[in-house]
Structure 1
Amino acid sequence: MSDVTIFAPSPTLTVTVEEHGGEPDIHLHAGGQGVWQARMLLRLGASVTMCCSLTGEIGRMLRHLLEDEGFTVVGVDRPGKGSAYVHDRRGGERRIIAETEGEPLARHDLDELYGVALREGLASGIAILSGPAGDETLPADTYRRLSADLRKGGATVVADLAGKRLAAALEGGVDVLKVSHEELADDGLTTDDTAEQLLRAMRELRRRGAGVVIVSRSSEPLLMLDGEGFVEVAAPRMEVADTRGAGDSLTAGVAAGIARGEPVREAIVTGAAAGALNVTRHGLGTGDPEAIALLRESVAVREIVDDSAAGVDQSVTGHVSPDGLAALADPEEER
């Protein structure tokens, strides 16, 4: 039994071409949202089970890569074309050579994947619901059913989703929801990125079924809403090598803290530090755990006044140490 189970419907085989010593340097890895989350969880000392579909020859390669990284892989093996991409980064920016989202899950494959995800999620007690490689991989309603069934069985559900999959998971109910401010705008929940708009959207998401709502804002401090109200969490701004995967590292850090028994207001500090460190690296979902632990000490947390016009400038400002964060949380709101 692992500490955390990740529902990752379609991991991606990634081939990246870089340059080293004037020669092409080719890297082959497993990738995708769930993989990046799993990778950071492992760095933070949590064991991980990945529930995923493994399609065709790409799937066979992915299984070996995932197991070599130390994940427990519970996969549905099926024929067909899997998710993969080839990127050329020798010029400093990613240039797409080829990409495929893979084929949608057939009904029987989806039933099998659902069953193993439910079983492993209940065994772990904590499950992260992550998105697929393509919109057509599986029906969005899968997330409603899975979140509802996991919570009925006593598991804590962490969702990192957007669009129809986000709406479906909310209908089923989630304990912790992470979403970006861009995704809120894309879903029509905000018309701009002002604090007033974001806080209003967060209240709406909590009303619709999220126990805790976390909104990332690129390089700006993230926002969180729980049963006690709003907080703003500011991590140090690091020099950026690659921003991709930072949000997934944030989600993983929060899940790792919850797996250790931390209140969400303490776990969010680890998440913020993990996300901040991830941008300094080209490897997505990676980071030195000792560096993350040190960065935690530089994460500033402040409460925000909860009223209809609340903005960042109305906050009650102050640095709260990780040891003092638990006192801010309502234990009955942690689930």
Structure 2
Amino acid sequence: MSPRVAIFAPSPVLTVTIEDHGGGPDLHVHAGGQGLWQARLLESLGVEATLCAALLGESGALLGHLLRDVEGIDLMAIERDGRAAAYVHDRRGGERVEVMDTAGDALGRHELDDLYGLTLRAGLDADAVILSGPAGDGVVPDDIYARLAADLGHAGRLVIADLAGARLDHVLEGGVGVLKVSDEELEQDGRADGDDDDSLLAAALELQRAGAERVIITHQLGAIAVDAEAAWRVRGPELQVVDTRGSGDSLTAAVTATLITGGTFEAALRRGAAAGAANVTRHGLGSADAEAIRALEELVAVEQIERN
């Protein structure tokens, strides 16, 4: 039986981009969002992914088609009236110009109950669960992350969280197997004093004491990570950057894939850094192939450092 990961992705994003390819304007319509980017990378590494989401209104119906029929993602979704998360960007001038951007409607009590139930069902059928964030604030209550982390963790599932802000606070209350967060997010939250290694290590250890078994803090050059026994400094290869968006999600997915297939945390860090590096070289977020990631692993430096 293939390894499987359930991904809580409450509000996937309908992305519309206008580009100029010489003969005139061209319209590109895709599904996007943190959970999808993680699912794409998992699938490329041979891990089946189930996306648990809410699809609202006409945009949600189109998202369902894009996710199921175009992306080939296993989708468990509630479908309701309303506005889905979406954006329209104009890139004809070479830079992204935002035409519109909406986080979508907040889910009501009944929608939340249904989404929670199908996420529990998918999580219990999986080897691990990734908790990813919505497109914007207010779509789901922050405490849903504490509940999901606690319920799935108590059921013996590996819970991985890629969250910041109040959602990070709540998921720590529930307890989490792996927490991934960026240095910028921690500084914004007042959880890190700076972006140097010592400050990030101190922040990682504090997050561990607050409820995360393993912590990965990403930064521009790599990551600082801790588990119960050791701490690591990770340095990825420096590549020409096309788009940095989604690199952290690729790292999260590759770490998850490695852990549920029997790899060590150190091996997961190496593969995660390689996946994040591969992502920045591509326009398609979370779309790096497994062979490229394996080749880049040879260029990742993982060094054990002292825990303070």
TM-score tier (shorter)? over 0.9
Kept after mapping to 1: 8 A contact 2:266/2:302: no
User: Once superposed, which parts of structure 1, at least 4 consecutive aligned residues long, lie more than 3 Å away?
Assistant: none
Structure 2 Cα separation of the partners of residues 290 and 13 of structure 1: 29
Identity of aligned pairs, percent? 54
Q: Which amino acid aligns with 2:174?
A: G
Per-residue deviation at 1:119?
1.1
Kept after mapping to 2: 8 A contact 1:84/1:100: yes
SS at match of 1:26: strand
- Structure 2's unaligned 5+ residue stretches are none
TM-score of the aligned structures, taking structure 2 as reference length: 0.97
Per-residue deviation at 1:248?
0.6
Structure 2 Cα separation of the partners of residues 288 and 279 of structure 1: 13
Structure 1 Cα separation of the partners of residues 47 and 172 of structure 2: 26
1:127 — aligned with what?
A: 129
Kept after mapping to 1: 8 A contact 2:197/2:224: no
Q: Show the 5 A alignment for 1:143-222.
A: 143-218=145-220, 220-222=221-223
Per-residue deviation at 1:288?
2.1
1:302 — aligned with what?
A: 303
Per-residue deviation at 1:22?
4.2
1:77-135 CA distance string (max 9 Å, x none): 11111110001122222110111111000001000100110111111020000000111
Q: Which amino acid aligns with 1:75?
A: A
1:282 aligns with 2:283: yes
2:60 — aligned with what?
A: 59
Q: Which amino acid aligns with 1:60?
A: A
1:312 — aligned with what?
A: none
Kept after mapping to 2: 8 A contact 1:258/1:267: yes
Q: Which amino acid aligns with 1:285?
A: G
Per-residue deviation at 1:23?
2.1
Per-residue deviation at 1:25?
2.5
1:113 — aligned with what?
A: 115
1:223 — aligned with what?
A: 224
Structure 2 Cα separation of the partners of residues 248 and 33 of structure 1: 6
1:57-79 CA distance string (max 9 Å, x none): 11111111111212110001111
- How well do the aligned residues superpose, as a CA RMSD in angstroms? 1.2
2:47 — aligned with what?
A: 46
1:232 — aligned with what?
A: 233
- Structure 1's unaligned 5+ residue stretches are 308-335
Q: Which amino acid aligns with 1:168?
A: H
Kept after mapping to 2: 8 A contact 1:131/1:160: yes
Per-residue deviation at 1:151?
0.6
1:303-331 CA distance string (max 9 Å, x none): 11222xxxxxxxxxxxxxxxxxxxxxxxx
Q: Show the 5 A alignment for 1:67-146.
A: 67-68=68-69, 69-146=71-148
Q: How many residues align?
A: 306
Kept after mapping to 2: 8 A contact 1:125/1:154: no
Kept after mapping to 2: 8 A contact 1:88/1:95: yes
Kept after mapping to 1: 8 A contact 2:159/2:177: yes
SS at match of 1:124: coil
Kept after mapping to 2: 8 A contact 1:13/1:29: yes
